[in-house]
Structure 1
């Protein structure tokens, strides 16, 4: 095992009480690191990025490229980063990601052209791409029997940071200007790095695969890619993110189209996020005590139904209820996929597995708004939401059938 748990807490002189205290301390620090790190990452793009790009004279296709630049590292680096953590230990790889969180915001102060902004966004994207899967692998090791609950609480901690970011960013832009936002991003990134140093200095890495096994990174990938159920679960996560990326963007435009004001639109968008934030720990706890496959299939059904009903809604209350239902369904899927994948593979592949899940997830979230945008352009908002809803329904049916066959 390459994470913290094995060597950090396995000494015979360590009492069971000390073991629990050390594990809890590590977990709490990891949640704090996640909150600060994601706050730093999110505030650097929402709502400041389009305004900063506009000030540089960026428009059209360039703006779209800049917006997507930070998502590309998630596709190309998450799996190798997770595998690297299996080999050399989690804490070293986490510290690499936190170094990027701490340094990337400072680079925005030197940006004066569109291509420079794209490069900085690309560099910044490596932070989340590396940190996410390695943190999830660490939690899976720390809490093998409560991984669903603990992964979900950690995810909620990052959502808190993501939720604070647009409000704090908007306030700073209004009171102090655009560059003050990147100063705040830098402070938050440095805070995550400092808490990360606590992890690095206090806790040890377990025995790495490079020292205890002849297995290579590629052999681990072969095992994962040969596990059809791991791929299927990762696919359901990608579909959830596919619909989420599109729903989050086009719901705002649709609500504006049917005549809602900006305050009502904000409440609708916030309700979806709040639902996900508050229900994730409970659903994660539930997934540890029931079949995770049931929750994934039901979650996709709820998201599909919510998406199909969106095009029929034209009032504030209707769209508010739909956003809440969608948030619940999304929470059911994303609270169950990572722990389910970790149930199916050995602990020495946790990093690789979480990296694969993150890679496929990022592909889905990147393609969602693009694909749905084409459908809406050719048809209508109703066609776009129906497209998303039918994909969710179809995916739920396929997953439920294959998962049932596996259990049988």
Structure 2
């Protein structure tokens, strides 16, 4: 059982880290579509729904950069504890919310929770594994993506639970995770690294992995448009709640299958990025046929498969680049946060014009990026002209 041997707390730590990846993703997969629908039923406008969707991502953009680097100084465990306390505060606000503005405050704290959680968890996993980066990418992405699948499947069930009961239960559960982390997660003392080295590594990462950060941004941008606005669209069209749950879970199951079956073959080359963007473009077209449940499911399948390829390609490059993994995973998660922030803002404007415009935008944006990726690759492979 070599794969279970990590530093610190031995047999328990590594499985527990994968459990955290799974369970936090269950919560995220359920809350991401749930909170905008709660806001819609409170009377929120398209702009307010966009603000609800982007509020947490705004913090996520900046705090993941800070938390990834900070975890190199004070340790990953402290960041995980901060995450679960923030999540408990967020769900407490959701329990007592009566207007959309309250939900926005809750999403800010939820964003704080995720921004301190993911960079530290990713760094802990790569430090615990003895495997090659491609194996870590596969196991980690399957763990959190399968959690998102379950969260999406629970969406319609959670929507029908009394709101106070649901979020009070989640508050208690978050505090239980906090206590379990204190007991189970152990780590070696943080590295003694001068600030100049961290800053230099940060600048190198931004400069050398621009395409990876573009892909991670695009992954989140497309996901944010679908998760924040498509459930609202189907709800406004009086489609069965099960349609939303099945469509989102199909999308997330396709993403998980992509992680397990396709991503490891493509993460090292340009094919994964191009195929992922093409499938995203096709999915954006198909989900606009809202009267056809089968076309909605097929569109969700394409979107999920494309998302899996984009995420895996970017994540592989991030964790393969440096021993200061907190810096790279922080940038990786920050660009994802930027996508989750930008998507709802642009979607909020587009949906006020036409409810289907966000999904047309997904297709046009993805096709534009295909051209950008291919032209960039051709430029890199072209020989430099001789100097006279």
Question: In which range does the TM-score fall when normalised by the shorter chain?
Answer: 0.7 to 0.9
- Measure the CA separation in 2 of the matches of 1:53 and 1:323: 22
Aligned to 2:201: 220
1:357 matched to 2:332? The reply is: yes
Structure 2: any 5+ residue segments left out of the alignment?
A: 383-388
Query: How many residues are aligned here?
Result: 380
Which residue of 273, 278, 287 corresponds with 1:301?
278
Q: Judge conservation of contact 1:41–1:101 (CA < 8 Å) in 2.
A: no
- Measure the CA separation in 2 of the matches of 1:354 and 1:37: 17
Q: Judge conservation of contact 1:87–1:209 (CA < 8 Å) in 2.
A: yes
**CA apart distance, 1:237:** 1.5
Aligned to 1:185: 170
Q: Deviations over 1:33-92 (max 9, x none)?
A: 22333444555565356537966xx64455554443322210120001001112333233
Q: 1:64 to 1:32 in 2, by over 3 A?
A: same
Which residue of 324, 339, 347 corresponds with 2:323?
347
Q: 1:52 to 1:366 in 2, by over 3 A?
A: closer
Aligned to 1:291: 268
* Matches for 1:121-160 after TM superposition, within 5 Å: 121-143=107-129, 145-160=131-146
- SS of the aligned residue for 1:226 comes to helix
* Matches for 1:147-296 after TM superposition, within 5 Å: 147-165=133-151, 168=154, 170-171=156-157, 174=160, 177-200=162-185, 203-205=186-188, 208-210=191-193, 213=194, 215-227=196-208, 230-252=209-231, 261-287=240-266, 291-296=268-273
Q: 1:43 to 1:310 in 2, by over 3 A?
A: closer
- Measure the CA separation in 2 of the matches of 1:325 and 1:331: 10
RMSD: 3.6
1:317 matched to 2:304? The reply is: no
- Measure the CA separation in 2 of the matches of 1:264 and 1:128: 28
Q: Judge conservation of contact 1:148–1:335 (CA < 8 Å) in 2.
A: no
- Measure the CA separation in 2 of the matches of 1:246 and 1:118: 17
Q: Judge conservation of contact 1:37–1:101 (CA < 8 Å) in 2.
A: no
TM-score (norm 1): 0.78
Q: Judge conservation of contact 1:146–1:285 (CA < 8 Å) in 2.
A: no
Aligned to 1:95: 81
**CA apart distance, 1:107:** 4.9
Q: Deviations over 1:312-360 (max 9, x none)?
A: 78533233222212211111111221111222x3212x11111112112
Which is worse superposed, 390-399 or 22-31?
A: 22-31
Q: Judge conservation of contact 1:236–1:399 (CA < 8 Å) in 2.
A: no
Q: 1:286 to 1:95 in 2, by over 3 A?
A: farther
**CA apart distance, 1:115:** 5.2
- Measure the CA separation in 2 of the matches of 1:237 and 1:17: 27
- Measure the CA separation in 1 of the matches of 2:261 and 2:366: 23
